[in-house]
Amino acid sequence: MNLSSRRRSVSRLAALLVPILVLAACGGGDNSGDSSTPDSDLAINKVVAPEATTIADVIALERPVVIAHAGGDFDWPHSTMYAFTQAALNGTDVLEMDVMLSSDGVLMVQHDNTVDRLTNNTGLVSSYTAAELQAMDNAYWFSGGVWSDKSLAEDAYIYRGIRTGDVAPPEGFTADDFGIPTFEQVARAFPDFALDVEIKIPESESGEVQLDSAMAAAKELARLITELDRTESVIVVSFNDDVLTEFRSLIPDVATSPGQNSLLNWYLQGTALDPRDLVIQAPPFYGDVEVLDKETFDRAHADGYKVWVWMTEASQETTEYFNELLSRGADGLLVAAVTAIP
């Protein structure tokens, strides 16, 4: 099933325009002048409300749902305001993000346990304050079409230096759009967009699971969802079932997706999921075993669940593979390559 022609048109236009804007901004010339952008000219002000603004409405859509993984991190720098804005401009239905706490207890949007893969800094996310994380260049290693490749020529990293002011930002954006944002920042910036939020399970430098930190993140997420009036427009997931149980106890009216153990028990034994689990979010494969065949989709639908598929390999981020998943019965695609959506 193809998505709406309106969304395709917007996606293709944006895909053509963005590289032009970036090249213009990152090219030669004197960047020492004032590069600030008036609020009226900011790209985020051109974002329009999506077709569905609550999780219930997203689930009720009679077409496949597009969920931008970390803002679409094959197309734009992972977990940046720039990426989330571009994803919204490209017709994304849901913005997906991962959250964990900074050293001073602020809920940050960050996928990895450390800042090593995406920035030119090193160390645990939990070892930095929110201000320190926001100041980092979260686009430092972005090159497009891959999750991370540090072996390329320097000019392949087309957004490097924007955060630090060494390079002018693309038109409609600011240097701040290339740092590590807070959850509150993203939630406030996109009030009409449904959010798919994963509570990460951080680890210490020695690899020890920091479950207490994840529990504290669940508590802070519940507080912010309530404060920001996002109860109906957020769906929450975590690999750890105990973290999800804690989150549900704090804010029982928010939709969730099952944790890893609950999902495996459903898949292997038919064990019922929590009533708040409205969407199954799963990869096509667990190890070498393909778990999302047509039979699994049919079974999930018969049990009353929608299925959103998240990709585990770069080779899956193609229009052809997306179409294959849709033909099997996928209700949503959680993708890094937003512009490859059919």
Q: Give pLDDT, residue 37.
A: 66
Q: What percent of the chain has pLDDT over 90?
A: 85
> What pLDDT, on the 0 to 100 scale, is given for residue 10?
42
pLDDT score, position 74: 96
Can you give the pLDDT at residue 145? 85
Average pLDDT over the chain reads: 91
HEC secondary structure over the chain: CCCCHHHHHHHHHHHHHHHHHHHHHHCCCCCCCCCCCCHHHCHHHHCCCCCCCCHHHHHHCCCCEEEEHHHCCCCCCCCCHHHHHHHHHCCCCEEEEEEEECCCCCEEECCCCECCCCCCCCCEHHHCCHHHHHHCCCCCCCCCCCCCCCCCCHHHCCCCCCCCCCCCCCCCCCHHHHCCCEHHHHHHHCCCCEEEEEECCCECCCCCECHHHHHHHHHHHHHHHHHCCCCCCEEEECCCHHHHHHHHHHCCCCEECCCHHHHHHHHHHCCCCCCCECEEEECCEECCEECCCHHHHHHHHHCCCEEEEECCCHHHCCHHHHHHHHHHCCCEEEECCHHHCC
Is the pLDDT at 317 greater than 60, yes or no? yes
Q: Which domains does the chain have, with CATH numbers?
A: 5-31+39-340 (3.20.20.190)
Is 3 a residue whose pLDDT tops 60? no
pLDDT tens by residue, 160-212: 999 999 999 999 999 999 999 999 999 999 999 999 999 999 999 999 999 99
Per-residue pLDDT averaged across 15-24, rounded? 39
Tell me which of 29-43, 155-169, 239-253 is least confident: 29-43
Question: Burial of 117 by CB count in 10 Å (0-12 exposed, 13-18 middle, 19+ buried)?
Answer: middle
Can you tell me the mean pLDDT for 110-118? 96
Residue 33 has pLDDT above 50, yes or no: no
Task: Kindly report, residue by residue over 130-142, the tens digit of the pLDDT.
Answer: 999 999 999 999 9
Span of 4-18, 30-44, 92-106, 319-333 with lowest mean pLDDT: 4-18
Q: What is the arithmetic mean of pLDDT over 317-322?
A: 98
- The pLDDT of residue 24 is above 60: no
Portion of the chain with pLDDT greater than 70, in percent: 89
For the entire predicted model, the pTM comes to 0.89
Residue 342 has pLDDT above 70, yes or no: yes
**pLDDT tens digits, 256-305:** 999 999 999 999 999 999 999 999 999 999 888 999 999 999 999 999 99
Q: Provide the pLDDT for residue 148.
A: 83
pLDDT higher than threshold 80 for residue 217: yes
Give the per-residue pLDDT at 297: 98
pLDDT at residue 21 greater than cutoff 60: no
Q: Please enumerate in sequence order all residues whose Cβ is within 8 A of that of 205, keeping only pairs 6 or more positions apart, or say none.
A: 124
Query: What pLDDT is recorded for position 55?
Result: 99
- Mean pLDDT (whole number) for 111-122: 97
Residue 26 pLDDT class (50, 70, 90 cuts): very low
Determine the pLDDT at residue 1: 46
Report whether pLDDT(27) > 70: no
